[in-house]
Amino acid sequence: MNPAQLNQAISGALTKLKDHADQLRDLDQALGDGDLGITVTAGADAVIAALGALDESATPADIVKACAKAFANANPSTFSALVAGGLLAGARTFQDKTDISVADAAVFAHAAGEAIAARGKAQLGDKTILDALMPAADALAAHLDDAQVALECAIEAAGQAVVSTKDLQSQRGRAAWLQERSIGLPDPGETAIWRFLQSWQAAAT
């Protein structure tokens, strides 16, 4: 995937992701402060605008850095800060890259997840965005020869994470304040990752 294709793919995925804003809002109202739908919508619009303003000479790293800055500035929140930090960490893995492969995407996703874990002081099993992101990254890494299959497996892995962690107690963020009452509720951050991957696929078809 060359820079122009990457730019188009991100913009297309984020346009589709906005269709899930109401679901993310409702999930976040149950476990957080209810602003995730707004955060995703405002962030998506800001990123799409930023990508549209990029010069044709922008590299993959430039594109991701622009995404991080726009998303963080659109609607300041913990989610925005974590995602932006993850994107910046991922962008560093794209340095000197002119085309992005499935292997590059897997390395990017793992780096992003590690940055989010460090900044959010979270680990797998805490019922956070990590529980969907890291299995999706692993799925990409396991299917390097076929981008379509890799994406399908990443979507499946993220979706399974949303379901399998639903009955865990949230350990980080506002959701942790609910303690036992968080059990049985899907994590909105995990769901956002799952929906983003689905949106990426939908935008490509």
Tens of pLDDT, residue by residue over 18-28, are 999 999 999 98
Mean local confidence (pLDDT), 162-168:
90
Domains of the chain plus CATH, in order, are: 3-204 (1.25.40.340)
pLDDT at residue number 176: 66
Tens of pLDDT, residue by residue over 130-146, are 999 999 999 999 999 99
Q: Of residues 90 and 34, which shows the higher confidence score?
A: 90
pTM, entire model: 0.93
Give yes or no for a contact between 109 and 100, defined as CB atoms under 8 angstroms apart: no
Give yes or no for a contact between 17 and 195, defined as CB atoms under 8 angstroms apart: yes
Share of the chain above pLDDT 90, in %: 80
pLDDT at residue number 82: 94
What is the pLDDT confidence band of residue 75, given thresholds at 50, 70 and 90?
confident
Alpha helices in 20-129 (DSSP H): 21-31, 36-52, 60-74, 78-93, 102-120
Helix %, strand %, coil % of the chain (to 5): 75, 0, 25
Q: Kindly report which listed range (4-18, 95-109, 162-176) carries the lowest average pLDDT score.
A: 162-176
pLDDT at residue number 13: 98
Tens of pLDDT, residue by residue over 35-53, are 889 999 999 999 999 999 9
Q: Of residues 126 and 103, which shows the higher confidence score?
A: 103
Q: Please compute, for residue 35, the number of CA atoms within 13 A of its CA located in the half-sphere on the CB side.
A: 12
What is the pLDDT confidence band of residue 186, given thresholds at 50, 70 and 90?
confident
Give yes or no for a contact between 173 and 79, defined as CB atoms under 8 angstroms apart: no
pLDDT at residue number 180: 73
